[in-house]
Structure 1
């Protein structure tokens, strides 16, 4: 029997390797200029990793397209999408992450309206 540290039924995104490392930068910005500097530094780090083919996953990513989210979830995208359709078919939850297209008109209708 093979044991995994992560339940493969979960939506958590982990690297494909059995062993992986977490690197966290815990910093704070006290003003807008510092925040902009740190944001640019984070982008440089991610570009370096991408260019060096270092596989990374952001803990709290800010993606703006569904394609970026699909890449983030990788092999788990199909499972994640199926769960979204099962538990939130109207796509009314978590609209701010821009993972799924939100249609306000579908949020106003209910199953009773279809009868």
Structure 2
């Protein structure tokens, strides 16, 4: 009785193995992504993360908008409010729905710290 890989034709195994290896070889190394250059984010990287999040908040993809909102909530402050208001004024409904909780949380945080 044939079990496991014995039942799969060798040509199928070769094609799948070739596809997996080609995808794996073209992907960026995971090790570099897991090891940050420093333990604390620098100001420049935080600023660039905020800039990227401000660009991503208007994305067509809901997952990208949600990730951007999370970054803005985590790293943002009240100085972003005018920019977020300007984005919201010209955005579609989905973007406005994503931005509203970010603006509310940043306003609440600003009120608590002042």
TM-score between the two structures when normalised by the length of structure 1:
0.29
Structure of higher CA gyration radius:
2
Q: Which protein, 1 or 2, shows the higher relative CO under an 8 Å CA cutoff with sep ≥ 6?
A: 1
TM-score between the two structures when normalised by the length of structure 2:
0.29
Indicate the structure with greater helix content: 2
